């Protein structure tokens, strides 16, 4: 269980498949794979034939996004759609 005052530490992590092919995924605080991120990153690497380093860069970005969602209390699917208007 996470302490609500502690920042979540999502992180990018390399994966080596039995075939020897590699890609990067995102792990949560408990070192469990973040399923939605993993599915997307695997589809990029193997379904769209992107380079391993592309998944590394994207996994790092996804980990930062998920940390931001947790730190700001936003739900993942709607977080990017929430915009606040600047004060005038």
Residue 48 has pLDDT above 60, yes or no: yes
Average per-residue pLDDT in the chain? 86
Residue 34 has pLDDT above 50, yes or no: yes
pTM, full prediction: 0.78
For 71-81, what is the mean pLDDT? 77
The DSSP code sequence of 10-78 is -EEEEEE-TTS-EEEEEE-TTS-B-HHHHHHHHIIIIIS---HHHHHHHHHHHHHHHHHHHHHT--HHH
Query: Which tops the pLDDT comparison, 74 or 31?
Result: 31
Q: What is the pLDDT of residue 7?
A: 63
For 60-85, what is the mean pLDDT? 81
């Amino acid at each position: 269980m996470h302490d609500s005052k502690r920042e979540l530490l999502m992180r990018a992590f390399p994966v080596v498949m039995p075939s020897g092919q590699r890609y990067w995924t995102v792990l949560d605080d408990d070192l469990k794979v973040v399923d939605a991120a993993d599915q997307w990153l695997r589809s990029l690497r193997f379904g769209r034939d992107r380079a391993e380093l592309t998944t590394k860069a994207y996994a790092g970005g996804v980990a930062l996004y998920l940390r931001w969602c947790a730190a700001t209390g936003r739900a993942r699917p709607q977080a990017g759609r929430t915009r606040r208007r600047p004060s005038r």
